[in-house]
C-alpha cells in the first residue's frame, strides 16, 4: 500500500450534535490534543471500551518531521494498541554511530542491540507517519470521535469533572467531561488556563533542523560532529529517515536570529557545506527551535490530568519527548478505565502522577546531562568536553563519557506504591516496577514474542505450572531460546504478576493465590 | 574508601617537578586543556566514585 502524504491531509471540521444541545453534553473522557500522545491515549482507552472525544484546535497532522526517533518501548506500546509493527516496518533502523571532533572521526560504535526482542532499540520515523498511522488506527474504534478545529478556550474544573468551553468555526459550545486529559503540547493552553506552570531550566541556545531529500550514498548511520570545520564551535547531527529524507540538526547558539536562520538562503549554504558542493538535494522542511528541561510540579489536578509535553519537557537529545509521552498514556489508560468502571478507587489516578513524575525526573536528568555535554555553558565545561573528545580518540574510558544523547530506556518505577516488595530472592532486572523484557516464544507452533501474550488486564506469568487463567511457560508458551527464563531469573514455580501496562507488579518463587490477589488489589490502589 | 590526604607519593619532589614541566611553554588555554585531560585520566584510574566526590569537595573548598 502506498503511503499517504500525511502532511498534506486536511481533516474536515464537522459540526457535532453536541453543539445544538440546550445543555452541555457529558462525556466520560475528553482528550485535548490530537498529537501522537493524545491519539495514543484515545486508542488505549477505546481498546478498553471507554468512549473518547478528542478535541484539536487544528485540522492537520504534524508539519515537518519533528520527533523522529521512536524507542523500543514506544513501539511495544503501539504494538499493544495495534499499530507498532507498521511503524517499525516503515522506520529506518541503524546500528552504527560515528563521532567527529574538528576535522577527524574520533571513533565509531556499534549499538549491538541485544538479540531476542520483538522490536529494535529504536527506529527513525517522521512524526507525521507516526501520527498518520495512529489516526488510521483510531478509525477502527467507533468509540473515538475526533473533533478538528475545536479549540478549548476555557475550563471550569469541578469535583466530578470539568466543563470545557470550545471555539469552532460555527461559534462556541460547552462540554462536560468526567475526566479531561490534557495532551495539548509543551505550550499547553489548558495548563495556562488553570494557572499552572511547568518549571525548570531553559537552555540559552538555538538549533536549526533541516530535512533534506536526497539520493546520496550516505549509509544508515548516526553521525555527530563536535566543532566541525563546516560549522565551527557548534555541533551538528545527521540522521536518516524513511523516503530518502535526512535530518540535519545544526546548533546555532543563542544569538542566532530565529527568523532569518530558517530562510532557505541561510539554510542551503549550511547544508551544502556539510554535504559538499556537488550534492543534489531538496530542502523539505526547516525549523529553528529552543528547548527547556522542565515539568509541572504535579501532573494530576483533580479530574484534569496532564500527559506528554504538556506535563514535562526535555531537550531533544536522547529522544525522550514523544517517547515518554506515549509511556505516560500507557500508564494512565488502564487506571482510568478501571476507575471509570468503578473497579478501582479514584486515588489510583494519583499513582499515575507519582510514577510518571518520577519517570519525568529521570528523563530530564538524562537529557540535561546530554545538553550540558553538547552545548557547554561555561568556559571550563567546554575545556572538559573537548578534553573528553581528545582522549576518546584512543581511550575507551573517555568514549563512555562522550554524551551526544543517551538511549531512551523506560524508567523502572522503583518505590511505587503499586509495587509489592519482594519476599523471595531474585537476581536480574525484572524488579517490581520494571517494564517487562521481551523474549522469543513459540505459541501453538508459531514463533512470536512474549509481550504479545500479555493481556489487556493483569497477567499472571508462571513458569512450569500455574492456575488455568495464568500464562504458563511450558504449557501455553515455549521459551524458544531460554531467554525468557534467563531474563526473569525464573525457576520452576516462579511467577510474576504483570500490570496491564506490562510493568512487573510482584513476583514470587511459588504461586499463592492469596498473595496474588493481594498484589492485584495493591496495584489497583485499593486500601489494604 | 576514604580520600587519602596523608603522604602517598613515592617521590614527591620528582612528581611536582614533572607536573610543572608538563606545562612548560604552553599558553594558559593549552595548559587548561592539559590539566583537564590529566584530571580525566587520573579520575578513571582511581575509579572509586566516593573518593572522586571527596576529592572534588576538598578541591572546591580550597
C-alpha cell of A47?
Answer: 481498546
Confidence check: pLDDT of A185 > 80: yes
What is the pLDDT averaged over residues A199-206?
A: 88
Strands A144-148 and A52-56: parallel
Chain A closest-CA separation from residue B28 CA (Å): 12
DSSP A451-470: GGG--SS-EEEEES---TTS
Q: Label residue B61 by pLDDT band (50, 70, 90).
A: very high
Give the residue from B36, B39, B43 with the most A CB atoms within 10 Å of its CB, the best one to mutate: B36
Q: Which residues of B touch A386 (CB under 8 A)?
A: 33, 36
Contact A289, A254 (CB under 8 A): no
Q: Which residues of A touch B37 (CB under 8 A)?
A: 387, 390-391
**ipTM, 2 dp:** 0.97
What is the pLDDT averaged over residues A316-329?
A: 91
Torsion of CA A268, A123, A113, A433, to 10 degrees: 130
Average model confidence (pLDDT) across chain A: 94
CA atoms within 13 A on the CB side of A78: 34
Confidence check: pLDDT of A409 > 90: no
Helix (H) or strand (E) holding B28: helix B28-46
C-alpha cell of A201?
Answer: 531550566
What per-residue confidence (pLDDT) applies to A210?
94
What is the pLDDT averaged over residues A510-524?
A: 98
Residue of chain A with shortest Cα separation from B42: A397
- Look up cell 604552553; give the residue: B26
Q: Among partner residues B33, B41, B44, which is closest to A383 by beta-carbon distance?
A: B33
Write out the residues of chain B at the interface with chain A, using a CB-CB cutoff of 8 A: 32-33, 36-37, 39-41, 44
The domain ranges of chain B are: 28-62
Give the model confidence (pLDDT) of B5-43 as tens digits.
999 999 999 999 999 999 999 999 999 999 999 999 999
Give the model confidence (pLDDT) of A212-259 as tens digits.
999 877 788 899 999 999 999 999 999 999 999 999 999 999 999 999
C-alpha cell of B37?
Answer: 585531560
Contact A499, A337 (CB under 8 A): no
Q: Which residues of B touch A397 (CB under 8 A)?
A: 40, 44
Residue of chain A with shortest Cα separation from B38: A387
What per-residue confidence (pLDDT) applies to A217?
75
Q: Which residues of A touch B48 (CB under 8 A)?
A: none
**Sequence-ordered list of residues with C-beta below 8 angstroms from that of A413, at least 6 positions apart, any chain:** A355, A358, A359, A419, A433, A434, A503
The residues pairing with A61 across neighbouring beta strands, listed in sequence order, are none
CA atoms within 13 A on the CB side of A203: 30
CATH 3.50.50.60 fits A6-18+26-91+115-197+293-339, yes or no: yes
Q: Label residue A276 by pLDDT band (50, 70, 90).
A: confident
What per-residue confidence (pLDDT) applies to B58?
96
What per-residue confidence (pLDDT) applies to A320?
87
Measured CA distances, A110 to A97, A113, A283 (Å): 6, 8, 30
Chain A closest-CA separation from residue B29 CA (Å): 9
Torsion of CA A500, A503, A507, A513, to 10 degrees: -10
Tally of CB atoms within 10 A around A111: 15
Contact A27, A51 (CB under 8 A): yes
A-B interface: how many C-beta pairs under 8 angstroms? 28
What per-residue confidence (pLDDT) applies to A135?
98
The candidate with the shortest Cα–Cα distance to B22, out of B40, B45, B10, B38, is B38
The candidate with the shortest Cα–Cα distance to A85, out of A75, A94, A93, is A75
User: Using CA atoms, how far apart are residues A487 and A103, in angstroms rounded to an integer?
Assistant: 43
Q: Quick one: how far is CA A21 from the chain centroid? A: 37
C-alpha cell of B6?
Answer: 596523608
Would the CB atoms of A391 and B37 count as touching at under 8 Å?
yes
- Look up cell 479531561; give the residue: A180
User: Using CA atoms, how far apart are residues A284 and A64, in angstroms rounded to an integer?
Assistant: 8
Measured CA distances, B55 to B1, B8, B49 (Å): 12, 15, 10
Would the CB atoms of A383 and B36 count as touching at under 8 Å?
yes
Strands (E), A45-148: 52-56, 69-71, 96-101, 104-110, 122-124, 144-148
Percent of chain A's residues with pLDDT above 90? 86
**Sequence-ordered list of residues with C-beta below 8 angstroms from that of A26, at least 6 positions apart, any chain:** A161, A175, A176, A177, A178
Question: Alpha-carbon Rg of chain A, whole angstroms?
Answer: 24
Q: Quick one: how far is CA A318 from the chain centroid? A: 11
Residue of chain B with shortest Cα separation from A398: B40
Contact A245, A126 (CB under 8 A): yes
What per-residue confidence (pLDDT) applies to A328?
98
Cα four-point dihedral sign A213, A218, A223, A225 = negative
Helix (H) or strand (E) holding A296: strand A292-296
Would the CB atoms of B36 and A386 count as touching at under 8 Å?
yes
Tell me the angle at which helices A322-340 and A36-47 cross, rounded to the nearest 10 degrees. Answer: 30
User: Using CA atoms, how far apart are residues A168 and A148, in angstroms rounded to an integer?
Assistant: 9
What per-residue confidence (pLDDT) applies to B7?
97
User: Using CA atoms, how far apart are residues A477 and A495, in angstroms rounded to an integer?
Assistant: 14
The candidate with the shortest Cα–Cα distance to A322, out of A6, A9, A31, A38, is A38
Strands A495-498 and A504-508: antiparallel
C-alpha cell of A89?
Answer: 516496518
Would the CB atoms of A391 and B40 count as touching at under 8 Å?
yes
**Sequence-ordered list of residues with C-beta below 8 angstroms from that of A148, at least 6 positions apart, any chain:** A11, A12, A13, A14, A34, A56, A58, A59
Q: How far apart are the first and last CA of chain A?
A: 53
What is the pLDDT averaged over residues A264-289?
A: 91
Cα four-point dihedral sign A428, A431, A435, A441 = positive
Confidence check: pLDDT of A1 > 60: no
Contact A78, A326 (CB under 8 A): yes
Would the CB atoms of B36 and A397 count as touching at under 8 Å?
no
Contact A50, A30 (CB under 8 A): no
The domain ranges of chain A are: 6-18+26-91+115-197+293-339, 440-523
User: Using CA atoms, how far apart are residues A465 and A483, in angstroms rounded to an integer?
Assistant: 18
Would the CB atoms of A380 and B40 count as touching at under 8 Å?
no
Strands A171-182 and A304-306: parallel
According to CATH, the topology of domain A440-523 is Glutaredoxin (3.40.30)
Range name among A110-114, A191-195, A287-291 with the lowest pLDDT average? A110-114
What per-residue confidence (pLDDT) applies to A2?
60
Amino acid at each position: 500500500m502506498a503511503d499517504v502524504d500525511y502532511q498534506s491531509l486536511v481533516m474536515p471540521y464537522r459540526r457535532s450534535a453536541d453543539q445544538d444541545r440546550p445543555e452541555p453534553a457529558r462525556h466520560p473522557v475528553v482528550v485535548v490534543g490530537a498529537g501522537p500522545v493524545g491519539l495514543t491515549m484515545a486508542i488505549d482507552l477505546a481498546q478498553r471500551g471507554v468512549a473518547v472525544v478528542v478535541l484539536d484546535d487544528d485540522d492537520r497532522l504534524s508539519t515537518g518531521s519533528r520527533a523522529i526517533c521512536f524507542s523500543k518501548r514506544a513501539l511495544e506500546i503501539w504494538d499493544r494498541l495495534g499499530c507498532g509493527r507498521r511503524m517499525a516496518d516503515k522506520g529506518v533502523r541503524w546500528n552504527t554511530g560515528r563521532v567527529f571532533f574538528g576535522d577527524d572521526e574520533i571513533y565509531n560504535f556499534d549499538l549491538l542491540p541485544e538479540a531476542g526482542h520483538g522490536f529494535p532499540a529504536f527506529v527513525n520515523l517522521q512524526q507525521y507517519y507516526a501520527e498518520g498511522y495512529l489516526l488510521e488506527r483510531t478509525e477502527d474504534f467507533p468509540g473515538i470521535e475526533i473533533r478538528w478545529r475545536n479549540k478549548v478556550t476555557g475550563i471550569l474544573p469541578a469535583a466530578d469533572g470539568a466543563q470545557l468551553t470550545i471555539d469552532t468555526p460555527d461559534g462556541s459550545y460547552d462540554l462536560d467531561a468526567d475526566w479531561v486529559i490534557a495532551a495539548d503540547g509543551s505550550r499547553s493552553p489548558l495548563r495556562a488556563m488553570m494557572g499552572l506552570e511547568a518549571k525548570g531550566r531553559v537552555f540559552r541556545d538555538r538549533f536549526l533542523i533541516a530535512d533534506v531529500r536526497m539520493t546520496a550514498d550516505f549509509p544508515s548511520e548516526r553521525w555527530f560532529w563536535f566543532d566541525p570545520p563546516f560549522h565551527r564551535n557548534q555541533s551538528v547531527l545527521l540522521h536518516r529517515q524513511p523516503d530518502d529524507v535526512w535530518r540535519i540538526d545544526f546548533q546555532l547558539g543563542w544569538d542566532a536570529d530565529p527568523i532569518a536562520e530558517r530562510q532557505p538562503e541561510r539554510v542551503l549554504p549550511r547544508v551544502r557545506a556539510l554535504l559538499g558542493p556537488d550534492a543534489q538535494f531538496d530542502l523539505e522542511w526547516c525549523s529553528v527551535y529552543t528547548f527547556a528541561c522542565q515539568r509541572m510540579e504535579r501532573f494530576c489536578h483533580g479530574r484534569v490530568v496532564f500527559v506528554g509535553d504538556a506535563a514535562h519537557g526535555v531537550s531533544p537529545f536522547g529522544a525522550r519527548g514523544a517517547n515518554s509521552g506515549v509511556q505516560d498514556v500507557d500508564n494512565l489508560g488502564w487506571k482510568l478505565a478501571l476507575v471509570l468502571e468503578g473497579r478501582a478507587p479514584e486515588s489510583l489516578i494519583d499513582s499515575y502522577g507519582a510514577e510518571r513524575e518520577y519517570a519525568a525526573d529521570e528523563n530530564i536528568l538524562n537529557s540535561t546531562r546530554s545538553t550540558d555535554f553538547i552545548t557547554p555553558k561555561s568556559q571550563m565545561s567546554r575545556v572538559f568536553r573537548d578534553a573528553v573528545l581528545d582522549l576518546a580518540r584512543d581511550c575507551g574510558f573517555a568514549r563512555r563519557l562522550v554524551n551526544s544523547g543517551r538511549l531512551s530506556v523506560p524508567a523502572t518505577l522503583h518505590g511505587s506504591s503499586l509495587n509489592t516488595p519482594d519476599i523471595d530472592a531474585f537476581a536480574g532486572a525484572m524488579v517490581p516496577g520494571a517494564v517487562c523484557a521481551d523474549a522469543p516464544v513459540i505459541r501453538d507452533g508459531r514463533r512470536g514474542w512474549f509481550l504479545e501474550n500479555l493481556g489487556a488486564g493483569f497477567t499472571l506469568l508462571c513458569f512450569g505450572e500455574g492456575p488455568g487463567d495464568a500464562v504458563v511457560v511450558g504449557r501455553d508458551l515455549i521459551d524458544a531460546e531460554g531467554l525468557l527464563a534467563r531474563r526473569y531469573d525464573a525457576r520452576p514455580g516462579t511467577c510474576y504478576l504483570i500490570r496491564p501496562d506490562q510493568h512487573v507488579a510482584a513476583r514470587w518463587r511459588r504461586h499463592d493465590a492469596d498473595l496474588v490477589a493481594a498484589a492485584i488489589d495493591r496495584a489497583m490502589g485499593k486500601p489494604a | 574508601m576514604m580520600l587519602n590526604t596523608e603522604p602517598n607519593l613515592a617521590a614527591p619532589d620528582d612528581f611536582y617537578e614533572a607536573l610543572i614541566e608538563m606545562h612548560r611553554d604552553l599558553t594558559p588555554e593549552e595548559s587548561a586543556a592539559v590539566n583537564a585531560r590529566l584530571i580525566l585520566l587520573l579520575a578513571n584510574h582511581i575509579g572509586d566514585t566516593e573518593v572522586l566526590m571527596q576529592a572534588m569537595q576538598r578541591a572546591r573548598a580550597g
